[in-house]
Amino acid sequence: MTTATTLSQKVWDQHLVHRAEGEPDLLYVDLHLVHEVTSAQAFDGLRLAERTVRRPDLTVATMDHNVPTAPGPEDPVSVRQMEALARNCAEFGIELYPTGHIGQGIVHVIGPQMGLTQPGLVIVCGDSHTSTHGAFGALAFGIGTSEVEHVLATQTLSQPTPGSMAVTVDGDLPPGVTAKDVILGVIARIGTGGGVGHVIEYRGSAIRSLSMEGRMTVCNMSIEAGARAGMVAPDDTTFAYVEGRSHAPKGAAWERALDHWRSLGTDPDAAFDREVRIDAWELTPYVSWGTNPAQTVSIDGAVPDPASFEDPIRRESAERALAYMALRPGTAIRDIRPDTVFIGSCTNSRIEDLRVAADVLRGRRVRDGLRAMVVPGSMLVKAQAEREGLDQVFRAAGFDWRDAGCSMCLGMNPDQLSPGERCASTSNRNFEGRQGKGGRTHLVSPAVAAATAIAGHFCTPADLGIERRAADGG
């Protein structure tokens, strides 16, 4: 090939099944992840049309959105949805990691954990946070249920060609600034629609310096900037993470895979349709104040005055957000006091996230009256954390230690905020009611969440005199 191409274009072109003028491309799907909430109607559609699942061997299912993370009465409607998934997987021969199985967990945590998520793959799932898998240099799209049915039936996805967008973060991240802060900073700059129609490639030394967990956190929230997908070119950090996992290639296959993966990076002279550059030193720990993920401010800042926004749409949006969040303009972020701290979700529930939070909490106590819970992203993350004694640290600090699931990221299972309750959350969406009707969400990193749990108001570990470990995650 003589034309210089980007990472996303390479992966796209390598999956072209059919291309014709005036039609969307037909792409082959290497891995289809399935969960209980967006699949039932797709399986029904297959049955109605008397179609079958083309490649059950490239399809993996788990239960995550609905699952309770603690013992208690089960919601019969949720149970019905999970039973439907189990029946569908049995009928169509799909590997399922149900509740109670050690392989169960948030769909975007178990794929990478099993080594199924690999560089250069096309991965889809009926969930917008499928962008997480782009951290490996895979092209990973969230899709709707009609598309889930399409992939089940054809193992392909019909897609218009996206634009390419480079988000380059160069320099050393300041102390205390984590991957979560990088992506919150990116979204604040480009806006909730800034990536629409584009695949973002995250580049630059600050991105390279992140662990795989950190890169997953960044790519995970690409959708919060409206992007079709987010990607990081695979490198030695990626290969080291994948090597040895249960579904990773072994022996000679590993060598062949490595050769392929090393060829995927964006060519030096390739051009992007859009480019955004951010100096790492400009970034700080962020806290969201509003009801969309671009409405964030530095933890050193204050709740903005809607009148300060020139754009009438942003001003009106800020006014509504402050009314919903019950916040006054000018209030210092550090003066805001959450009722609940939630550490979990596909954004920040991997082992590194838990280690960072545990380091902050070790030997300390959650502020009296504050509810705190930590929900590992998968049962294997939970087991690993328990081997490292992290569960003891969380419990001793006063955190609830839960089973794996999406939990309080979305109000679909018993873990919810009450109306008016304010939460410091490591999740990805601060939409109205996202964590429960009337709940008020502030998006933060695991480090800020843990420090906030101790202080009872938003703060950083440094505020509490806690030194961060060099290798920090989410």
Partner 1 sequence: MQPFTTHTGTALPLDRSDVDTDQIIPAEYLKRIERTGFGPFLFAEWRKDPGFVLNRPAHAGASILVAGPNFGSGSSREHAVWALEDAGFRAVIAPSLADIFRMNCTKVGLLPVRLPPDAVRRLMDAVTGDPTTRVTVDLEAKAVSAPGFHAAFDIDDFTRWRLLEGLDDIGLSLRHEEAITAFEAARPSFLPTATRSG
Q: According to CB under 8 A, which residues from 180 to 199 bind partner 1? A: 192-193, 196-197
Q: Which two tokens stand for residue 350?
A: 């991997």
Among residues 274, 320, 371, 457, the one that binds partner 1 under rule CB under 8 A: 320
Taking CB under 8 A as the rule, does residue 223 contact partner 1?
A: yes
Q: What is the DSSP string of 166-230?
A: EEEEESPPPTT--HHHHHHHHHHHH-TTTTBTEEEEEESHHHHTS-HHHHHHHHHGGGGGTBSEE
Nearest approach in angstroms of CB 408 to partner 1 is: 11
For 274, the 3-state DSSP assignment is: strand
Place of tokens 């919903």: 324
Closest residue by Cα to residue 417 from 440, 399, 400: 440
Closest residue by Cα to residue 167 from 120, 220, 232: 232
Q: Are 122 and 18 in contact (CB under 8 A)?
A: no
**Total interface residues for partner 1 by CB under 8 A:** 87
Q: Which two tokens stand for residue 336?
A: 């805001």
Taking CB under 8 A as the rule, does residue 116 contact partner 1?
A: yes
Among residues 62, 69, 78, 427, the one that binds partner 1 under rule CB under 8 A: 78
Taking CB under 8 A as the rule, does residue 9 contact partner 1?
A: no
* Contact track, partner 1, 418-447, x by CB under 8 A: -----------x-xxxx--x----------
Nearest approach in angstroms of CB 71 to partner 1 is: 20
How many whole angstroms separate alpha carbon 247 and alpha carbon 201? 25
Q: Tell me the residue type at 182.
A: V
Our CB check for partner 1 shows the closer of 30 and 359 to be: 30
Phi, then psi, of 74 in degrees rounded to 5? -95, 140
Nearest approach in angstroms of CB 1 to partner 1 is: 17
Nearest approach in angstroms of CB 371 to partner 1 is: 20
Element housing 45 (H / E): helix 40-48
**327-346 binders of partner 1 (CB under 8 A):** none
Place of tokens 């019950």: 326
Q: Are 380 and 465 in contact (CB under 8 A)?
A: no
Closest residue by Cα to residue 138 from 5, 4, 11: 11
Taking CB under 8 A as the rule, does residue 277 contact partner 1?
A: no
Q: Are 439 and 431 in contact (CB under 8 A)?
A: no
Among residues 170, 237, 254, 400, the one that binds partner 1 under rule CB under 8 A: 254
Taking CB under 8 A as the rule, does residue 95 contact partner 1?
A: yes
* Contact track, partner 1, 232-251, x by CB under 8 A: --------------xxxxx-
Nearest approach in angstroms of CB 247 to partner 1 is: 5
Our CB check for partner 1 shows the closer of 115 and 456 to be: 115
Among residues 9, 220, 288, 292, the one that binds partner 1 under rule CB under 8 A: 292
- Enter the DSSP assignment of 378: B
Our CB check for partner 1 shows the closer of 16 and 332 to be: 16
**367-396 binders of partner 1 (CB under 8 A):** none
Our CB check for partner 1 shows the closer of 224 and 472 to be: 224
Nearest approach in angstroms of CB 60 to partner 1 is: 4
* Contact track, partner 1, 31-70, x by CB under 8 A: x-----xx-xx--x----x-x--xxxxxxx----xx----
Nearest approach in angstroms of CB 429 to partner 1 is: 6
Q: Are 436 and 411 in contact (CB under 8 A)?
A: yes
Q: Are 70 and 402 in contact (CB under 8 A)?
A: yes
Taking CB under 8 A as the rule, does residue 160 contact partner 1?
A: yes
Among residues 186, 218, 257, 404, the one that binds partner 1 under rule CB under 8 A: 257
Helical packing angle, 390-397 and 351-361, nearest 10°: 50
**128-157 binders of partner 1 (CB under 8 A):** 128, 142-147, 149-150, 153-156
Place of tokens 């399409």: 150
